[in-house]
Amino acid sequence: MIGEAHDVAVEPPSIILGIETSCDETAAAIVRDGREVLSSVVASQIDIHARYGGVVPEVASRAHVEAIIPVVAEALAEAGIDHVDLDAVGVTHGPGLIGALLVGVSAAKALSLAWEVSLIGVNHLEAHLYAAFLEEPDLEMPLVILLVSGGHTMLVVMEDHLRYRVLGSTLDDAAGEAFDKVARHVGLGYPGGPIIDRLSTNGDPEAIRFPRAMMSDGWDFSFSGVKTSVVNHMRRHPDTDVGDLVASFQEAVADVLVTKARRAAREEGARGICLAGGVAANSRLRERVREVCELDGLRAFLPDREMCTDNAAMVAAVAWHRLCADGPSALDLGAFPSLRLPTI
Amino acid sequence: MLILGIESATGQVGCALGGRGGLLASAHTVRPRRHAESLTPQIRFIVDQAGVALSDVDAVAVDVGPGLFTGLRVGITTAMSLAWALGVPVVTATSLELLAFAATTDGREVMAVVDARRGEVFHARYRRTPDGMTQMSSPAVASPAAVASSLATSAANRGDNVLVVGDGARTHIDVFRGIDGVDVAPTGFDRPSAAALVSLATPVVERGEFVDPTDVAPLYLREPDAKAKWDPAAGTPS
Ligand SMILES: [Zn+2]
């Protein structure tokens, strides 16, 4: 039945409000039929957390409480719809920071109760995997998806809608975490990803040969070694050009990610490679994925940067697929900080 | 006039429906860290039991703390979202005010004390008046010993005993018991309740002292723990 288990074409049309508060973005979006984004509003807390050099959970939770209603109100207004037009509310209920998740879950449950619409708990990882389908609803599967963010690094095979296998994940730091830590150590500020991306354009990615951990070894990743190598290199060669340093670091990370994704695509007979998660916004990573896909005759799918980072449109998209496949969640829905991707 | 009260400042989470005519229905559960799961089903339950519709609610009352942050946010987010979605106003009360209100019917002074963990308590003093509570000291956070010593000092200048109430007094009962001029309230009054919230909110709603749902803010009384996932001050990445 693979390939026909979930035929999206025959499902009833519906308009879903998505809510996302798992980390440091308060987001709400209105999506029609899991694919047409009518609005997507994101209130970022990056400025608030920058002074701490990372996301502070209690600070994030407090900011979510302040932002949640205005963000939902703006999503409705931007979509030009009234709550009576809504069919369901989908909300991220894990994984993520527990205090942050609870704000979104509490709001979604209250809105579902007050407006008498369905409630759907959404897995944040699954939401990232669906970001690509918002731009390209008919992407051919199987698909190898590289989910890389500040909290996650996963190599996933998507066989069909809602059917995944996790090939590998990080054994220590997430890819985005390694960017943040290196940026912090070099004194570049927070968040590290965009800063390193920008500075690398003036650097030589071949200047320093940093280690590629586990490159030809299984499907898991490890980024703690390369981070330590950067720190040690800085200590031994304090005059190193920062552009060369971060470009070489970025190259090492991208090299491992892309090499494994490429091998996975070959072994799994995938039709393409797709990037997801905040690190998917990295220019060098996008470029490398495009290169290998061209060489191997694969489809490279690189969603818009706004869809790669945390947003609620991807949450509403999964909510629609889950509503069609499994029906709504019960009103006693809770938040699960360590929720895992549902796999086959 | 129908008021929905929502209260989740301590280890208990509860809701109640009522107004000038008294209470129609209420529910509460004491399951630590289960506030988010319990609250919305409880609200649906009491609405059904009271034989009303959620759309009949004229105002939402909410306990804004002080209390345990995560649970408190569940109640406040639920209350502001419901009020906003239903298009009705909010009235707020503090957890300390609710404790004092439920514990006394006469004009004696009450010291409300909520457990703030980490060896501290949230506290404030009140007197009951015909139309609610008068605050004698502002909500603040302190060590139980500091609160007890201020009680002992002021007790000497008062005619009647001051009543101490709340889970903060229960947790630190050895500190509060045996002070001259101080009575500790019985166990049934340890936690703020949604039922007390509806009674306390009734005259407030009648006077129209409303808060916009988007302006409801938790009373934290403590700065957030500014600890990131790793320590930037350490210099090297962890
Ligand atoms: Zn994410």
Mutation choice for B interface testing from A21, A58, A112 by most B CBs within 10 A? A58
User: How far apart (Å, rounded) are the C-alpha atoms in residues A97 and B33?
Assistant: 14
Average predicted confidence (pLDDT) for chain B: 91
- CB proximity B87 to A under 8 Å: no
Q: Going by CATH, does the domain composed of A139-303 fall within 3.30.420.310?
A: no
Q: Select the residue of B37, B77, B225 nearest A334 (Cβ to Cβ).
A: B37
Q: Do B226 and A334 touch (CB under 8 A)?
A: no
Of A145, A178, A157, the residue nearest A302 (C-alpha): A145
Whether the link from the prior residue into A142 is cis, omega within 30° of 0, is yes
And the tokens for A281? 């916004």
- CB proximity A107 to B under 8 Å: yes
Token look-up 């980390």 returns A23
| Range of weakest confidence among A191-205, B121-135, B222-236 | B222-236
Dihedral sign (CA A139, A142, A146, A151): positive
* Ligand 1 centroid to residue A23 C-alpha, Å: 7
The percent of residues above 90 in pLDDT, for chain B, comes to 78
Closest CA–CA distance from residue B133 to any residue of chain A (Å): 28
Residue numbers in A near B17 (CB within 8 A): none
Q: Cα separations (Å) of B140 from A17, A144, B116, B221? A: 39, 55, 10, 6
Please report which confidence band the pLDDT of residue A3 belongs to, taking 50, 70 and 90 as the band edges.
Answer: very low
* pLDDT recorded at residue A145: 97
Please report which confidence band the pLDDT of residue A38 belongs to, taking 50, 70 and 90 as the band edges.
Answer: very high
pLDDT by residue (tens digit) across B29-46? 998 778 889 999 999 999
Phi, psi at B193, each rounded to 5°: -125, 150
- CB proximity A52 to B under 8 Å: yes
How many contacts (CB atoms, under 8 Å) link A and B?
120
> Would you list the domain boundaries of chain A?
15-130+308-326, 139-303
pLDDT by residue (tens digit) across B160-205? 789 999 999 999 999 999 888 899 999 989 999 999 999 999 999 9
A30 bridge partner residues: A17, A39
> Which residue type occupies B125?
R
A122 bridge partner residues: A92
User: How far apart (Å, rounded) are the C-alpha atoms in residues B45 and A270?
Assistant: 49
Integer-rounded Cα radius of gyration of chain A: 20
User: How far apart (Å, rounded) are the C-alpha atoms in residues B83 and B92?
Assistant: 12
Whether the link from the prior residue into B66 is cis, omega within 30° of 0, is yes
Phi, psi at A234, each rounded to 5°: -60, -40
Q: Is the pLDDT score of A6 beyond 60?
A: no
- CB proximity B81 to A under 8 Å: yes
The percent of residues above 70 in pLDDT, for chain B, comes to 93
Q: Cα separations (Å) of A132 from A126, A275, A307? A: 11, 8, 8
Q: Do B77 and A106 touch (CB under 8 A)?
A: yes
For B:206-225, CB contacts with A below 8 A are 213-214, 217-218, 220, 224-225
* pLDDT recorded at residue A11: 64
Q: What number is the average pLDDT over the span B89-96?
A: 98
pLDDT by residue (tens digit) across B103-124? 988 888 999 999 999 999 999 9
Tell me the CATH class for A15-130+308-326. Answer: alpha beta
Q: Is the pLDDT score of A81 beyond 60?
A: yes
Residues with CB under 5 A from ligand 1 (ion): A 149, 310
Average predicted confidence (pLDDT) for chain A: 93
User: How far apart (Å, rounded) are the C-alpha atoms in residues B83 and A63?
Assistant: 20
> What is the 8-class DSSP label of residue A12?
P
Q: Does residue B152 or residue A143 have the better pLDDT? A: A143
Please report which confidence band the pLDDT of residue B227 belongs to, taking 50, 70 and 90 as the band edges.
Answer: low
Q: What number is the average pLDDT over the span A182-201?
A: 92
Residue numbers in A near B41 (CB within 8 A): 331-332
Residue numbers in A near B225 (CB within 8 A): 56, 58
Phi, psi at A43, each rounded to 5°: -100, 110
- Residue A297 near residue A325, CB atoms below 8 Å: no
* pLDDT recorded at residue B232: 40
pLDDT by residue (tens digit) across A234-268? 999 999 999 999 999 999 999 999 999 999 999 99
Q: Do A106 and B224 touch (CB under 8 A)?
A: no
| Helix B35-50 vs helix A98-115: crossing angle, to nearest 10 | 20
- CB proximity A98 to B under 8 Å: yes
Q: Do A102 and B218 touch (CB under 8 A)?
A: no
| Range of weakest confidence among A7-11, A70-74, A89-93 | A7-11
- CB proximity A118 to B under 8 Å: no
Q: Three-state secondary structure along A143-178?
A: EEEEEECCCCEEEEEEEECCEEEEEEEECCCCHHHH
User: How far apart (Å, rounded) are the C-alpha atoms in residues B205 and B210?
Assistant: 7
pTM of full prediction above 0.80: yes
Q: What number is the average pLDDT over the span A76-93?
A: 97
* pLDDT recorded at residue B156: 65
| Helix and strand element counts for chain B (H, E) | 7, 11
Of B67, B129, B120, B62, the residue nearest B96 (C-alpha): B67
pLDDT by residue (tens digit) across A156-188? 999 999 999 999 999 999 999 999 999 998 899
Burial of A93 (0-12, 13-18, 19+ CB in 10 A): buried
* pLDDT recorded at residue B234: 40
Mutation choice for B interface testing from A113, A177, A180 by most B CBs within 10 A? A113
Closest CA–CA distance from residue B238 to any residue of chain A (Å): 8
Closest CA–CA distance from residue A143 to any residue of chain B (Å): 33
Q: What number is the average pLDDT over the span B41-55?
A: 97
Q: Do the domains A139-303 and A15-130+308-326 match in fold?
A: yes
* Ligand 1 centroid to residue A236 C-alpha, Å: 35
Q: Do B78 and A106 touch (CB under 8 A)?
A: yes
Q: What number is the average pLDDT over the span B70-88?
A: 97
Q: Is the pLDDT score of B5 beyond 60?
A: yes
Q: Do B43 and A113 touch (CB under 8 A)?
A: yes
Q: Does residue A137 or residue A290 have the better pLDDT? A: A290
Please report which confidence band the pLDDT of residue A50 belongs to, taking 50, 70 and 90 as the band edges.
Answer: confident
User: How far apart (Å, rounded) are the C-alpha atoms in residues B227 and A276?
Assistant: 28
Collapsing DSSP to helix, strand or coil, B207 comes out as coil
* Ligand 1 centroid to residue A228 C-alpha, Å: 25
* Ligand 1 centroid to residue B159 C-alpha, Å: 61
Q: Is the pLDDT score of A8 beyond 50?
A: no
* pLDDT recorded at residue B105: 83
Collapsing DSSP to helix, strand or coil, A300 comes out as strand
User: How far apart (Å, rounded) are the C-alpha atoms in residues A97 and B231?
Assistant: 18
Report how far Cα A302 is from the mean position of its chain's Cα atoms.
12
